[in-house]
Amino acid sequence: MAASARGALGPLDEYPVHQVPQPIGWPGPSDRHFYDRCYFNAHDRTGDIFVISGMGYYPNLRTKDAYFLVTRGTEQTAVHLGGPIDDDRLDQRVGGYRLEVIEPLHKIRMVLEETEGLACDLTWEGSFEVVQEQRHVMRQGTRVVLDAQRFAQVGTWSGSLSVDGTEIAVSPDTWVGSRDRSWGIRPVGEAEPAGRPADFDGMWWLYVPLRFDDYMICLIIQEDGEGTRTLNDCTRVWEDGRVEQLGWPQVTIHYTSGGRMPTGASIECQTRQGPLHVEVESRLAAPLHFGGGYGGDQDWLHGQWHGEEFVERRTYDLTSDAVRSMLMFGCVDHVGRAVVTEPSRGSGTSEGFGLFEHFCVGKHEPSGFTDFFSTAP
């Protein structure tokens, strides 16, 4: 059938999955910031290497993109790929990057054909069922700037990774990580005219999905500059699929003196049987605003149009003054090691690994930060 006859219809329109009276390729909202994106991370628990990757579709901007970021020691390297969106959402690919859904909500294959020195063929396998997180809504004044749904999962990786000619075997007995998929509205693409400046004095964010032998824990907390909690979601998922809420966690972030880079966190949760304590440490930090495309990235942002077959590579020295001076103004992902103490389950501890993601931009009274430039003592 000619493209002019079928209009915006694509393969998914053959299935009973429509939510609004229009083709699947047309989002329900016409907001230019509508997005549908996935995120993955992978590491071997040591803190020697951290891989972060993702792909995004932005139908109202008519573009899609992907990134693949590798952090080793004090060097962080990313490749970016972009191009025009198409109607076949079942074929998830941007240039030489593609994702194959082998088993929905459980097994995904990620392939990056050799691109500017980076390549991979990795298979993700979920260790527990996915977690449907709370819907996340933020406003600036009267306008909704973020309205997103997300699910998360922890799991293992297998396959291979190549970095500038060095081949790295990836085995599920050591390589773990987390992933999420989110969709909805959030700032993407080129910047809009600002209008009257928004009232914003600070934001504190913590996201910690962790994998243990017989359960996972997924914690998400957001607070404003006064310390008022605007998002609180903390659950444990067991091997048999049971989902247990862990209350209203109390958190102490351990910041490096003279900055806001965390070395870890102490988290106090609550079960019906009693307290649950999580001690998290950072083994390697990967700032997402240097090559990852998240807020504050000076080189590349999600959803921007760079041309039909866009590819680039960026490399950052994490010890440079240019990077260090901006670390406290963006989101940083960490290879996280965690130890859980839970008296109601005995006197022992449980060791787990996963993601420790945190940022604190601007004021946050509970942390002792009074403005955008104050730091830990």
Note whether 185 and 148 are within 8 A (CB).
Answer: yes
* The 3-state secondary structure of 201-237, one letter per residue: CEEEEEEEEEECCCEEEEEEEEEECCCCEEEEEEEEE
Tens digit of pLDDT per residue, the chain (377 long)? 344 456 688 899 999 999 999 999 999 999 999 999 999 999 999 999 999 999 999 999 999 999 999 999 999 999 999 999 988 899 999 999 999 999 999 999 999 999 999 999 999 999 999 999 999 999 988 889 999 999 999 999 999 999 999 999 999 999 999 999 999 999 999 988 878 877 889 999 999 999 999 999 999 999 999 999 999 999 999 999 999 999 999 999 999 999 999 999 999 999 999 999 999 999 999 999 999 999 889 999 999 999 999 999 999 999 999 999 999 999 999 999 999 999 998 878 999 999 999 999 999 999 999 999 999 99
> How far, in Å, CA of 41 to CA of 120, rounded?
13
User: How high is the pLDDT of residue 185?
Assistant: 97
User: How high is the pLDDT of residue 5?
Assistant: 55
3-state secondary structure at position 13 = helix
User: How high is the pLDDT of residue 256?
Assistant: 96
Other C-beta atoms within 10 Å of 141: how many?
Answer: 9
> How far, in Å, CA of 24 to CA of 87, rounded?
9
CATH number for region 29-188+200-367? 2.40.370.10
> How far, in Å, CA of 65 to CA of 81, rounded?
5
The DSSP 8-state label assigned to residue 14 in this structure reads: G
In one-letter notation, the amino acid at residue 75 is: E
Query: Tokens for 226?
Result: 């006064």
Show me where the domains of the chain are located: 29-188+200-367
> How far, in Å, CA of 249 to CA of 25, rounded?
40
Backbone angles phi, psi at 232, to 5 degrees: -140, 115
Alpha carbon separation from 44 to 216, 289, 357 (Å, rounded) = 18, 23, 17
Identify which of 248, 223, 221, 219 has the alpha carbon closest to the alpha carbon of residue 234.
Answer: 219
User: How high is the pLDDT of residue 141?
Assistant: 85
In one-letter notation, the amino acid at residue 374 is: S
Note whether 362 and 221 are within 8 A (CB).
Answer: no
Q: Report the run of H or E that residue 177 belongs to, with start and end.
A: strand 176-185
Query: Tokens for 111?
Result: 């392939």
Query: Tokens for 114?
Result: 């050799």
Q: pTM of the entire structure?
A: 0.96
> How far, in Å, CA of 254 to CA of 351, rounded?
19
User: How high is the pLDDT of residue 4?
Assistant: 46
User: How high is the pLDDT of residue 7?
Assistant: 64
Q: What's the alpha-carbon Rg for the chain, to the nearest Å? A: 21
